[in-house]
Amino acid sequence: MCIAVSTGLRLSDVLALTRRHCTSDGLLVRPSKTARSSGKKLLFVWTPELRALVDYPEGDERPADDTPLAEAD
């Protein structure tokens, strides 16, 4: 829920987030509502708060790209 509040994404879009959405610049997301219309992607630039919420791992310890953010250690 904190990611939803911080980004303004719908809960369904937050639940669909995986490690694949984590880029070096931030979270790159195509909201489900725009996927059917304009298809635009949104980039949420990393802030200390967003990094803490996502718990983005550094180095070689990254989980698989399709690991849901909520289940990654």
pLDDT band of 20, cuts 50, 70, 90: very high
Q: How far apart are CA 36 and CA 20, in angstroms?
A: 20
pLDDT band of 27, cuts 50, 70, 90: very high
pLDDT at 18 over 80: yes
Assign 6 to helix, strand or coil: helix
- pLDDT of res. 67: 65
pLDDT at 10 over 60: yes
Q: Which residue type does 9 have?
A: L
